[in-house]
Amino acid sequence: MILSCKTQDKPNILWITIEDTSPQFIGCYGNENASTPVIDKLADEGVRFTNAFSTGTVCAASRSTIITGVRTFKMGTGHQRSQYPIPDYIKGFPYYLKQLGYYTTNNYKTDYNIANEKDFIKESWDECSGKATWKGKKEGQPFFSVFNFPESHQSRTMSWTFEQYVKHVWNHLPEEDRIADEAFEMPPFYNDTPEMRKQFARVYNSIKLTDNRIGKLLQKLEDDGLTDDTIIFFYADHGEGIPRGKTNGINLGYRVPFVVWFPEKYKYLSPWETGKTTDKLINFEDLGPTMIDLLGGQVPEYMKGQRLFNGDSEYEKELLLLSTDRVDNGLDLVRTVTDGKYVYSRNYMPFIPEARYINYLEIADITKHMRNDLKYGKLNAFQSGIFDERPYEMLYDIENDIWEQHNLAEDPKYKPVLEKMRQHLDTELLKAKDVMFMPEYEMVKLSETQTAYEYRLDETNYNFDEVYKVASLSGKKGEEIVKSQIEYLRHHDKLVRYWASVGLMSQNLLQLQPYEAELKEAVQDDYPLVAVTASAILYKKFGNKDVVEVLNNFSKSDNWTLALMSVYHMLYFEDRTPFESTIEELLQDKDINWHVKSACFDFERSQKLKEEI
């Protein structure tokens, strides 16, 4: 049976979006330490989804998919705050709701990660501001209203100073609502110390304040006599804003709380019994087409997500593909597959740790405590491991291992699960022609003349099959792999050569030694990304001082993507002294790109920590 509203009696839709929150920290998802009675009540009376996932692990990337219904690896919108163009025919889904007579409002975060965002916003929303509400609608007009609550954002949970947190969170909580530092269980990837507990209590208090403010919004809805005509959606935009959560391509970065509440008159629209849970796999690609379909519109062809309330939908999924890319100055590329029980992540840059340098995380006291404890050997193997290079494949049983401690990728018992997810990943990426495998250096140039969405479909320009074949070697080790990667360093396609060099970053010195001459030759490659990466390999693995000047020069490039790549490699060198003066010089440049500047700040701060006795 197809469930949708094609009559004049259409429901109002209220979206309650909170930031940076994993279900592990919500009461209705089993956390007995959490105090979230408003959210819990919505779940008790509505439908609670246990397998809901953000398509990305940071706000800009996830919100790009939410608003357009199109995946970031198709549109080129995976890198945070990149703002590259998308095709004109791809609209924000509220545009289609407006065509159905809906009054659309957004209060007020956008962060859609696209070019020409102001025009896009104007086309999508009747009102988009910090004052936007349903009150501007015409008599009898249905509304679609989004309210975004920032109280649980990473700024509050970790990145702001403790004084800012006190001012904006703690002081807004009644004394009886505040959680004490000792009143919760610490995730095992953190050292359980008084300093860490003081910082981690911020998570619970920030979510408590969020819950309180959601309660006030729902009371306004009730006071305006609209509750009985309004379907309410509640969800977070991605995982928890803490080290190892947000920005990481694991379950803690992707999985979100997600609840839908139906008033009595619209319960017939739910395929699920209210007051229950569902383990249906959903992700943010589904939200736009679900709204259009539910309210009686025609879903555009480019939206490939599920129609969640359409009982006849042919889009039911057994596996979900998720993704994460650059976050601020933190380079990365991870692709993930989940069936809800297992999460498989493929790290294409595994030489970068889970706790990678991202300035917005590094300024936080909790991160400073972690790095200081690491320096003085106070962390156990699990806690210190998040600062190490990652395995290229990770498989977690997140029903029995919610904190993702035990990587099952090399356990023979789980080989069928691993192979199934690996095959799904390869199939889906090849079908999508994942444009994020194109370096951002290329994306910047490309976006001056066309969209990445359309570019990726032209095989004469973007030979993704060949690129992906070489990228898929990245992280794998051994003589035959190294030999292949070295051969690909001479390939005619620059993107193939780039991914060959990236893959070589994960090889050990013993495997690389026979090919030192080839690596030196690659430093002279006319494609600068290969030259930068080969230089980083020679310095990091061989201690070659001749490439110091190469890296320093590239870090001063007017092309910020080149500069960022160069500085970011420096962050993971054991001996950074040859680069200190260059970093100091870059920080004096008032016109320096913010991402490059952030990486320089990370260099400066971490170098100081290394040098302290």
The CATH number linked to 50 is: 3.40.720.10
Domain boundary among 302, 324, 346: 324
Q: Is 407 left (phi over 0), alpha (psi -120 to 50) or beta?
A: beta
**Over the stretch 504-555, which tens digit does the pLDDT of each residue have?**
999 999 999 999 999 999 999 999 999 999 999 999 999 999 999 999 999 9
Percent of the chain with pLDDT over 70: 98
Residues 289 and 374 in one domain: no
pLDDT at 297: 97
Crossing angle of the two packed helices 528-542 and 560-570, in degrees rounded to 10: 10
Cα torsion 313, 49, 158, 250: sign = negative
CA distance 494 to 487: 13
For residue 477, the model assigns a pLDDT of: 96
Please work out, in degrees rounded to the nearest 5, the angle formed at the alpha carbon of residue 374 by the alpha carbons of 183 and 355.
80
Identify the H or E element spanning 53: strand 52-53
- The whole-number average pLDDT for the span 108-129 is 97
Mean pLDDT, residues 450-472 taken together: 96
Compute the mean pLDDT over every residue in the chain, rounded to the nearest whole number. 96
C-alpha dist (Å) from residue 501 to 29, 249, 323, 356 = 43, 22, 22, 20
SS (H, E, C) 164-222: HHHHHCHHHCCHHHCCCCCCCCCCCCCCCCHHHHHHHHHHHHHHHHHHHHHHHHHHHHH
Q: How confident is the model at residue 4 (pLDDT cuts 50, 70, 90)?
A: low
Q: The tokens 């009675």 sit on which residue? A: 37
Q: Which two tokens stand for residue 352?
A: 């970068």
Q: Which domain holds residue 266?
A: 12-153+225-324
Name the DSSP class of 317: -
Do 310 and 441 fall within a single domain? no
Among 324, 347, 367, the domain-final residue is: 324
Q: What letter would DSSP give residue 104? A: E
Residues 377, 285 share a domain: no
- 324, 346, 374 - which closes a domain: 324
Provide the whole-model pTM.
Answer: 0.97
Could you report the per-residue pLDDT of 288-320, keeping only the tens digit for each? 999 999 999 999 999 999 999 987 655 678 999
> Given this model, what pLDDT does residue 7 score?
46
Whether residue 214 lies inside any domain: the answer is: no
- Position 201 in a domain: no
Model pLDDT for residues 73-111, shown as the tens digit of each residue: 999 999 999 999 999 999 999 999 999 999 999 999 999
Same domain, 311 and 430: no
313 within 8 A of 289, measured Cβ to Cβ: no
**Does residue 217 form part of some domain?**
no
Specify whether 512 is located in the same domain as 443. yes
pLDDT of residue 612: 77
CA–CA distance from 591 to each of 326, 349, 359, 587 (Å)?
22, 29, 18, 9
Instruction: Starting at the earlier edge strand, list the strands of the sheet with 143-149.
Output: 127-128, 103-107, 143-149, 12-18, 230-236, 258-261, 47-49, 276-278
In a domain, 341, yes or no: no
Phi (first) and psi of residue 439, to 5 degrees? -55, 150
Copy the structure tokens of residue 128: 């988009």
Gap between the Cα atoms of 30 and 28, Å rounded: 5
pLDDT band at 2 (very low <50, low <70, confident <90, very high): very low
Which residue type, as a one-letter code, is found at position 439?
P
Instruction: Measure the CA–CA gap between 509 and 538, rounded to whole angstroms.
Output: 10
C-alpha–C-alpha distance, residues 289 and 255, integer Å: 20
- Say if residue 295 is in the same domain as residue 363: no
* 367 in the same domain as 316: no
* pLDDT given at position 473: 98
Q: Are residues 284 and 394 in the same domain?
A: no
**Rg of the chain on CA atoms, in Å:** 24
Q: Cα 466 vs. chain centroid, distance in angstroms?
A: 26
pLDDT digits (tens, 9 = 90+) for 250-264: 999 999 999 999 999
Residue 240 belongs to a domain: yes
Residues 374, 426, single domain; the answer is yes
Work out whether the CA dihedral 542, 545, 547, 548 comes out positive or negative.
Answer: positive
Closest CA to 286 of 222, 365, 325, 233: 233
DSSP type of residue 114: B
Strand partners, 334: 324, 347
Same domain, 389 and 464: yes
- 24 occurs within a structural domain: yes
CA atoms of 525 and 493, how far apart (whole Å): 12
What total number of domains does the chain contain? 2
Which residues are CB-contacts of 350 (< 8 A; sequence separation ≥ 6)?
Answer: 389, 390, 391, 392, 474, 475, 506
**Distance of alpha carbon 69 from alpha carbon 90, whole angstroms:** 9
Q: Is the pLDDT of residue 8 over 60?
A: no
As a whole number of angstroms, the distance between CA 134 and CA 138 comes to 9
In a domain, 566, yes or no: yes
How many angstroms separate the CA atoms of 425 and 342, rounded?
14
Mean per-residue pLDDT for 397-426? 98
Nearest partner of 150 among 201, 104, 110, judged by Cα: 110
Distance in angstroms (rounded) separating the CA atoms of residues 106 and 133: 7
513 phi and psi, to 5 degrees? -55, -40
Same domain for 387 and 257 = no
In the DSSP assignment, the letter for residue 327 is B
Label residue 611 by pLDDT band (50, 70, 90): confident
CA distance 434 to 420: 20
Buried b (16+ CB within 10 A) or exposed e, 306-322: bbbbbeebebeeebbbb
Does 331 reside within a domain? no
Same domain as 377, residue 316? no
Residue 463, pLDDT score: 96
Residue 352 and residue 389: Cα distance in Å, rounded? 6
Name the residue with higher pLDDT: 320 or 5: 320
What is the rounded distance in angstroms from the CA atom of residue 332 to the CA atom of residue 325?
Answer: 5
- Per residue in 189-245, pLDDT (tens digit) is 999 999 999 999 999 999 999 999 999 999 999 999 999 999 999 999 999 999 999
